Amino acid sequence: MRDSDWISVHAFYHGDLDELLVRAVAPMVEEFDDRDLASDWFFLRYWDGGPHVRLRVLPSRGIERAEVENTIRDRLDHYFRLHPSASRMRQDDYALTARALAQWEEVDAYFTQLQSNNSLSFIPYQREHARYGTGASIEAVERHFVESSRIALRLLAHGLTYDRRGTAALALILLTWLIGGDDVALVANWSVRRRRHSGGPLSPTGEGLDVHTDAQREHAVRIARQMHALAAQAPETTGTGTLIDWARSLRALRESLAAGVETGAFHPPTRGWEGSGDIFVSEPRAKVFTVLDICAHLICNRLGLSLTAEGVVRSLAAHGVTALAGERSQVSGVA
């Protein structure tokens, strides 16, 4: 599969991106399924050029690309006409924000000018080969992106409140870490080291992210125990639901990428979403941890968490997994 096989559209909108996703993107991708127009799709939120949703769509075999593009243009332009967003960002504000975000993400090329609000741009999709490899590796990552997007859009459509998104993100991050790393102590040590990088450009040192109440810390420990139990279940776990679907998708991705590591076809990045520094260096399934953690960041993005909010959640997750490692160490000592 080539990069150009995917249709890529950026929907620039200064209004509520949740509403754009739930009221425009969700019915549109349902239409794709009903009419068999597209076999896969995924999305993320991004800042480059102004707040927008990036949608990637893979037309079904035998479907003309133009038909899918015209459907996208018609449905999203219709939403913009019915629900136009006021321009909430000025060029000078955008320039400052974009510069800080680009520096933090180590991005060299980005829009220096704010793009038109309530507008669409069909911009070619460029795969991140440095992160996700080529061939079977990046196709496995894209399959996960599709599954992640379906999970996120389903939660948004069900009216997930912002507070509950924090809880969902905590569970998803912990489950990712515990699936990605079999050694809880190593995961705990890594999470503490990385915590100072998790605040994004507004809090690059992580200062203030770990100010939590006792109740929040206890909640994080309970969630960590539950996610550890779920991560330990067999890959062929039956049933459906947000966490089960996420665990199944992450396990499949881990195994696909690990196979690439074993054959030398895939070389995992050492830079995660929030800076350099991987976690493991030997066992193939563990070496792909950095990619899995990027996927945890992207589900937070799809759910609409800000970088600072995600940093707070990651600080709680670090506390939860550290406490879990301590509990397991005590049990091992008694045994």
pLDDT at residue 181, as a whole number: 83
Q: Is the Cα dihedral 79, 82, 86, 91 positive or negative?
A: positive
Residue 79 near residue 23 (C-beta atoms within 8 A): yes
Residue 131 near residue 276 (C-beta atoms within 8 A): no
Listed as ranges, residues in the chain with pLDDT below 70 are: 194-211, 234-237, 273-283, 331-335
Q: Of 213, 210, 235, give the one whose Cα is nearest residue 315.
A: 210
Domains of the chain: 3-122 (3.30.70), 130-334 (no CATH)
Q: Which residues pair with 120 in a beta bridge?
A: 11
pLDDT at residue 183, as a whole number: 86
d(CA 183, CA 179): 10
pLDDT at residue 208, as a whole number: 54
Q: Of 101, 10, 112, 7, give the one whose Cα is nearest residue 54.
A: 10
Q: Of 31, 57, 23, give the one whose Cα is nearest residue 43.
A: 57
Q: Of 45, 32, 43, give the one whose Cα is nearest residue 74.
A: 32
Residue 181 near residue 280 (C-beta atoms within 8 A): yes
Cα–chain center distance at 300: 5
pLDDT at residue 239, as a whole number: 82
Cα–chain center distance at 207: 23
Backbone angles phi, psi at 307, to 5 degrees: -60, -40
Tell if the pTM clears 0.85, that is, is over it: yes
Helix-strand-coil percent breakdown of the chain, rounded to 5? 60, 10, 30
Q: Residues near 126 by Cβ (< 8 Å), separated by ≥ 6?
A: 3
Residue 121 near residue 115 (C-beta atoms within 8 A): yes
Q: Three-class SS of residue 145?
A: helix
Show the beta-strand stretches assigned E in the chain: 7-12, 38-46, 52-59, 119-122, 271-272, 275-276
